[in-house]
Amino acid sequence: MKAKLEQIKAEALEALKNVSTMEELDGIRVKYLGKKGEITAILKQMGKLSPEERPIVGQVANQVRADIEASMGEASSAIKEKLLEQRLKNEKLDVTIPGTEVLAGHKHPMTIVLDEVKDIFVGMGFSIAEGPEVELSVYDFDKLNIPEGHTVREWQDTFYITEDEKVHLRCQTSPVQVRVMEATKPPIRIISPGRVYRKDEVDATHSPMFHQIEGLVVDKGITMGDLKGTLNALVAKLYGPEAKTRFRPHHFPFTEPSCEVDVQCFACGGEGCRVCKGEGWIELLGAGMVHPKVLAGCGIDPDEYSGFAFGIGLERVAMRRFAITDMRLIYENDTRFLSQF
């Protein structure tokens, strides 16, 4: 029996030399030390031994068990160490490997400029109004003092929704003026940014879809002085306090008097260069005192109230602001262009 125990021990220790996983180690534990294991099987036969032999064999059995357990403990530590080593290897962090670039989005140059203009006007007490892009010709033309047959309708030819040309994509943001005046009583101070559409061919300075910001102020005693002060403040904020403006007489059917506002060329300071095409000035926006007919048509008494209005092309502001020379870049979504902002 003693010999058998020694043999079991030798076998177990040999088996332990080759274990490499915890599962294998567990298998050995069950096989040799378990309730149905080989040592237990021997101990069950102890009854057959003489009383003198029993303690001796018992002692040997305990020693064998202790030796196997000790060996298993060592094997277990070795396996754990190996597993840890493997884990450390797998989870190794190589700080010299180039990182994965996280591409964060950012504002489009048009949005940057739009937000700036909005901030400037909100700071002056204006609120933001919205109007539909699919507009009735009554709002886009008739109520703006552009009756049927007026030549302006041809210049501003747009995309028609109905055959009778009474519903179309708006060609300007000016109809929002009418919608606001019909819906609210003065005092009115709004700007209205949005898309507008014209039958223009795409080139470096034209697009069939572009953006305008409409502005409207109506109150008692509003004069051309308010118009000039407001637009000068806008230019100063956009282009710096030294920026010079020029107000030129012009004609718009819905304002009287009307003007165009130029800003002195930022590139040459008024000398004349390629950017301003030798003019020294760059056209920025159209404006004027709201025509009495337009006020009256919206139910506002022109004898009691007066107002001024203006319309800014947002692409132009962005192009000047960022020295963009081709309008198509604004719409093409080329990241080589957009990533510069």
Nearest residue (CB) to ligand DAH, 32 versus 252 = 252
311 binding ligand DAH? (CB under 6 A):
yes
User: What are the phi and psi torsion angles at 228 (to 5°)?
Assistant: -65, -45
Return d(Cα 314, Cα 195) in angstroms, integer: 10
| Least distance between ligand DAH and beta carbon 144 (Å) | 8
User: What are the phi and psi torsion angles at 177 (to 5°)?
Assistant: -55, -50
Instruction: Name the DSSP letter for residue 206.
Output: B
Nearest residue (CB) to ligand DAH, 37 versus 286 = 286
172 binding ligand DAH? (CB under 6 A):
yes
Stretch in the footprint of ligand DAH (CB under 6 A) among 107-115, 118-126, 217-225, 309-317 = 309-317
Residue 174: which of 291, 64, 46, 310 has the closest Cα? Answer: 310
Stretch in the footprint of ligand DAH (CB under 6 A) among 126-134, 202-210, 282-290, 315-323 = 282-290
Q: Is 126 helix (H, G, I), strand (E, B) or coil?
A: coil
310 binding ligand DAH? (CB under 6 A):
yes
288 binding ligand DAH? (CB under 6 A):
yes
Stretch in the footprint of ligand DAH (CB under 6 A) among 34-42, 92-100, 228-236, 303-311 = 303-311
Q: Which residues contact 163 (CB under 8 A, 6 or more apart)?
A: none
Nearest residue (CB) to ligand DAH, 145 versus 264 = 145
Let me know the angle formed at the C-alpha of 149 by 145 and 155, rounded to the nearest 5 degrees: 80
162 neighbors 190 (Cβ within 8 angstroms): no
Per-position x/- string for 215-254, each x denoting binding to ligand DAH as judged by CB under 6 A, each - no binding: -------------------------------------x--
Return d(Cα 261, Cα 281) in angstroms, integer: 10
Burial of 175 (0-12, 13-18, 19+ CB in 10 A): buried
Nearest residue (CB) to ligand DAH, 159 versus 341 = 159
Residue 62: which of 3, 5, 4 has the closest Cα? Answer: 5
248 to 267, contacts with ligand DAH by CB under 6 A? 252, 255
User: What are the phi and psi torsion angles at 251 (to 5°)?
Assistant: -130, 125
| Least distance between ligand DAH and beta carbon 259 (Å) | 8
List the one residue from 68, 238, 287, 317 that touches ligand DAH (CB under 6 A).
Answer: 287
What is the contact surface with ligand DAH in residues (CB under 6 A)? Answer: 172, 174, 214, 252, 255, 286-288, 309-311
